[in-house]
């Protein structure tokens, strides 16, 4: 597998360091959850680890089990805190070029609040 170089100046790293603001929903020692600046659904939040991980390839390879468990737990909390838990929702994590990942810091999108439609459009 190709080595992933983490860019400490990516926008989510700046949010974690408090250099730029975010609309925070939830935080724990290992994760931060905030509202997407360009929501694609009535509920659209981003769950990120505080550690420096480029994407799910990187996170699943290098993160401790504690960090990985905290990430999953944060997704579960986000579903409850936003109310998405009731009606259903989608979790997406884009990886690399084929995945159309724009920000090179691992994030899970949680989308809900209405029907999110098919898994992909062709
Ligand atoms: P992706 O294509 O999976 O990398 O998605 C990146 C997401 O980050 C997009 O949905 C953007 O709207 C969102 N985003 C970019 N900058 C910010 C920001 N400053 N605060 C909140 N969300 C952001």
Q: Is 67 in the pocket of ligand 1 (CB under 6 A)?
A: no
- Distance (angstroms) between ligand 1 centre and the Cα of 103 equals 7
Ligand 1 contacts CB of residue 103 (under 6 A): yes
Confidence of residue 17 (pLDDT cuts 50, 70, 90): very high
Å from CA of 32 to ligand 1 middle:
14
The tens digit of pLDDT for each residue in 19-75 reads 999 999 999 999 999 999 999 999 999 999 999 999 999 999 999 999 999 999 999
Q: Residue 38 C-alpha to ligand 1 middle, in angstroms? A: 7
- Residues with Cβ within 8 Å of residue 33, at least 6 apart in sequence: 24, 25, 26, 27, 45, 46, 47, 48, 74, 77, 78, 81
Which residue, chain included where needed, has tokens 């990942």? 101
What is residue 5's predicted lDDT score, i.e. its pLDDT?
A: 92
Q: Which of 9, 11, 24, 41 maximizes ligand 1 atoms within 8 Å of its Cβ, making it the mutation to test the pocket?
A: 11
pLDDT given at position 18: 98
pLDDT grade for 10, boundaries at 50, 70 and 90: very high
pTM of the model: 0.97
Whether the per-residue pLDDT at 86 is higher than 90: the answer is yes
Nearest to 105 by CA among 69, 58, 55: 55
Contact status, residue 103 vs residue 11, Cβ threshold 8 Å = yes
């Amino acid at each position: 597998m190709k080595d992933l170089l983490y860019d400490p100046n990516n926008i989510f790293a700046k949010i974690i360091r408090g250099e730029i603001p975010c609309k925070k929903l939830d935080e724990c020692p290992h994760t931060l959850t905030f509202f997407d600046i360009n929501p694609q659904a009535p509920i659209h939040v981003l769950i990120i680890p505080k550690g420096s991980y480029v994407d799910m390839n990187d996170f699943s390879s290098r993160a401790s089990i504690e960090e990985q468990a905290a990430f999953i737990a944060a997704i579960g909390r986000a579903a409850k805190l936003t109310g998405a838990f009731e009606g259903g929702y989608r979790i997406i994590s884009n990886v690399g070029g084929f995945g159309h990942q724009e920000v090179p810091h691992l994030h899970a999108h949680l989308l809900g609040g209405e029907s999110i439609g098919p898994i992909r459009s062709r």
